[in-house]
Chains A and B, each alone.
Chain A
Amino acid sequence: MTVDAGMDWGAIALTLRLATWVCAILLVVGTPTAYWIAFSRWRFAFVVESIVALPLVLPPTVLGLYVLVAIGADSPVGRWWMQLTGHGLAFTFEGLVIASVIYSLPFMVQPIAAAFARVDPSLIEASATLGASRWRTFRDIILPLAKDGLFTGVVLSFAHTVGEFGVVMMVGGNLPGVTRTVSIAIYDHVQAFEYGAANRTALVLLVFSFLVLVATYATQRRAWSPVAPR
């Protein structure tokens, strides 16, 4: 490594690829989870909510350790993946995706669940009295009225994935082009006393994060309330 390495374009590209995959998977997994949390009448629904929120409070290293064990070569998941693909999950991009999905789950689920819960219940009931199925009510009423929550969820989980460190370190290691994300790259630079490179990369992250938050809050400000006065 040179004394003052250039921009870490490889790490940045890898990070964006990771965050895109994570967001896509989280949208598919998180939306039904959020729906269930928002509308479940099960009295123990809070248990599921707590599990979803767990990554918020758990140290990333702890979460990373569990994921590492769960996808390791000795685990059922690891063995199944080995049979399927011929290689293990730990220290691979796929392993990193799995870990990041779990780590960012609450950032996708909570804004969406909150947006679902904000939809005026009488709109949902009105839809039913007009003959609409649950699926059609979800697609035509709940989803459009909760789109700000979906946008917030996507932005937050994207940003959160871009910025993660501990989980990547535990599950992905530091393989250039495979698992070496931006935050790991910055860490490496600092370890090697390459403060110039660390600064440049950090600046990219800072600007990116700021823009993300600006976009999110701007959306929320504009958000008109779908809730009727009661």
Chain B
Amino acid sequence: MSVLAAALRVRVAPAFDLAVAIEVPAGITIVLGPSGAGKSTLLRCLSGLARPDAGTIRIGDRVLFDAARRIDCPVAQRQCGYVFQHLALFPHMTVAANLRYGLAHLDDAAAGERIDRIAQSFRIAHLLDRRPDAISGGERQRAALARSLVTDPAYLLLDEPLSALDHRSQSRIMDDLRDWNRARQIPVLYVTHAHREALALGERAMVVDGGRIVATGTPQEVLDAPASELVAQLAGFENFFDADVQAVAADAGTMSCRVHGTSVDLEAPRLRGASPGDRVRLAVRAGDILVATTKPTGLSARNIFPGVIGGLRRVGPAITLRVDAGAPFEVHVTPHACRALDLEAGTAVWLVIKTYSCHAVAPDRMATMSS
């Protein structure tokens, strides 16, 4: 059980450099961030496919890279498992030959035993004689993962390899990976730009943006209390409002914010250091807003205000409402609720939002979560 530790800086483009310091313990760590944030560059540096301009990379006690001491362990000797975005299974080889490829140092008997074992773990034993183009997308993902793991890597890097799969297939593969890793206890970095995966798949998460790590913590911590607009967007917040802090109730830990250009006041948990007059952004999940057809009373929720439904749209199993309540809100309701309340365009409604469903975000600052 060892830790993958890196502190590195690399120029990606003339005006963009990646500068991060990370410590990845055993287990699955999700690396979240928008395209172009530097996630793939980070993985390429850790694997040795790209060379940082400065810094160090270590796995346990072993130094893989040290710019100052001119140490740069070649890719082939890093014992790094790497699953590529498009998997990079060798198309001219069977699945078995793909798995065998990284075991050149073993004789056929020893290699065969390892291949059989990993093929069982990742449910591809029946596919060993097939070529990659003759198996399904999910099976290819399993084969690629098994090919990286059969070599017993010291750490594993996954570059969005599962993004093409549905959520259930993804989590099944990740469950298999977690089972496999229970005995090995190696650090696993899983890069993705979709938030949904992160919630279910990792023990830890970090958010990369603009070449910096802007948040770290458990996936729940990173997603539930967004410290920056970026994290909020990744976490699937549909409603964003620019607002000014009107009043701060320090004892209650809340603050009242006026949405710009409206007379809508929203009460939100107090943002650290916020005082009246400050600009903030408020983020609200569409699924966290309640809809009522009469004015609700006797509720603990502090944000209750009237509006009119501008339109309805069915998105997957849910129904998305556009509600004009002084400010435009997106609200998600179930089809049942929609029928029961007889909701349609033009219906007058009341919106109810708990204080703790209003997430305040410092607009221009990428605050770090862990501090």
CA distance A224 to B131 in the complex (A): 13
CA distance A136 to B90 in the complex (A): 14
Interface 9-mer from A16-24, A124-132, A179-187: A124-132
Contact of A226 among B49, B77, B91, B148 (CB under 8 A): B91
CA distance A130 to B102 in the complex (A): 5
User: Is A141's CB within 8 Å of the partner chain B?
Assistant: yes
User: Is A230's CB within 8 Å of the partner chain B?
Assistant: yes
Could you say which residues of chain A place their CB within 8 Å of the CB of B81? Answer: 129
User: Is A120's CB within 8 Å of the partner chain B?
Assistant: yes
CA distance A63 to B78 in the complex (A): 50
Q: How would residues 120 to 148 of chain A score, 1 for a CB under 8 Å from any chain B CB and 0 otherwise?
A: 10110111111111001000110011000
CA distance A130 to B88 in the complex (A): 12
- Interface majority SS (helix, strand, loop, mixed), chain B: loop
Taking a contact as CB atoms under 8 Å apart, the answer to whether A130 and B151 are in contact is yes
Could you say which residues of chain B place their CB within 8 Å of the CB of A141? Answer: 90
Could you say which residues of chain A place their CB within 8 Å of the CB of B356? Answer: none
Could you say which residues of chain B place their CB within 8 Å of the CB of A125? Answer: 49, 75, 82, 84, 88
User: Is A229's CB within 8 Å of the partner chain B?
Assistant: yes
Please provide the chain B residues from 39 to 90 with a CB less than 8 Å away from any CB of chain A in the complex: 47-49, 74-82, 84-90
- Interface majority SS (helix, strand, loop, mixed), chain A: helix
CA distance A151 to B78 in the complex (A): 36
Taking a contact as CB atoms under 8 Å apart, the answer to whether B49 and A128 are in contact is yes
User: Is A57's CB within 8 Å of the partner chain B?
Assistant: no
Could you say which residues of chain B place their CB within 8 Å of the CB of A120? Answer: 86, 88
Please provide the chain B residues from 111 to 150 with a CB less than 8 Å away from any CB of chain A in the complex: 133, 147-148
Of the A-B pairs whose beta carbons lie under 8 Å apart in the complex, a sample of 29, sorted by A's number, is A122-B84, A122-B86, A123-B88, A125-B84, A125-B88, A126-B84, A126-B88, A126-B89, A127-B101, A128-B49, A128-B76, A129-B75, A129-B81, A130-B101, A130-B147, A131-B79, A131-B102, A131-B105, A131-B151, A132-B76, A132-B104, A136-B104, A140-B101, A145-B91, A145-B92, A224-B91, A228-B87, A228-B91, A230-B86
Q: Across chains A and B, which 4 residue pairs bring their CB atoms closest together, nearest first?
A: A130-B102, A126-B88, A122-B88, A129-B82
